[in-house]
A and B are shown apart, each in its own frame.
Chain A
Amino acid sequence: MASEAAQADAGHQQVDGHGQHSPFLQHHFEDHKHQFRTSKTGVWLFLCQEILFFGGLFCAYFVYRSLHPEIFFEGHRFLDVKWGAFNTCVLLFSSLTAAWSVRCAQLNQQRGLVITIALTIMCAFGFLGIKYVEYSHKFHEGLMWGQSFNPSETAFEEAHAANPPAAGGPGVAAVDKPEPRRRLHIFFSIYFAMTGLHGIHVLLGIAVYSWVLVRAIKGHFGPEYYGPVDFVALYWHLVDLVWIYLFPLMYLIH
Chain B
Amino acid sequence: MSSNTHAEAKPGQGAPTTDHVMSVKALIGTWGALMVLTAITVGATWVDLGPSVNFALAMVVATIKAIIVAALFMHLLHDQKYNLLVLITGMAALVLFVSISLMDVNEYKDDRLRREADAPFKVPGMSQPAP
Q: Which residues of A contact B (CB under 8 A)?
A: 20, 22-24, 33, 36-37, 40-41, 44-45, 47-49, 51-52, 55, 58-59, 62-63, 66-67, 69, 73, 81, 85, 88-89, 92-93, 95-96, 98-100, 102-103, 106-108, 147-151, 166, 169-170, 178-179, 181-183, 185, 219-226, 230, 233-234, 237-238, 240-241, 244-245, 247-249, 252-254
Contacts and interface: CB of A to CB of B under 8 A. Distances in A.
Contacts of B35: 89, 92
Contact of A181 (B91, B125, B129): B129
A63 B101 contact: yes
Nearest to A96: B31
Contact of B109 (A67, A92, A93, A170): A67
B130 to A, nearest CB: 7
B74 interface: yes
Most buried by A among B17, B30, B38, B54: B17
Interface of B: prevailing SS = helix
Interface of B: 1, 4, 9-19, 21-22, 24, 27-28, 30-31, 34-35, 38, 41-42, 44-45, 48-49, 51, 54-55, 58-59, 61-62, 65-66, 69-70, 72-75, 79-80, 82-83, 86-87, 89-91, 93-94, 97-98, 101-102, 105-106, 109, 112-113, 121-131
14 contacts: A40-B79, A67-B109, A67-B112, A73-B51, A95-B31, A150-B126, A150-B127, A183-B121, A225-B12, A226-B17, A237-B69, A241-B66, A248-B61, A254-B48
B33 to A, nearest CB: 10
The 9 closest A-B pairs by CB, nearest first: A222-B13, A225-B12, A48-B90, A254-B54, A248-B58, A224-B14, A22-B11, A223-B17, A96-B31
A220 to B, nearest CB: 6
B74 A234 contact: yes
A51 B82 CA distance: 17
Contact of A149 (B48, B90, B126): B126
Contacts of B101: 59, 62-63
Contacts of B16: 108, 223
B17 A67 contact: no
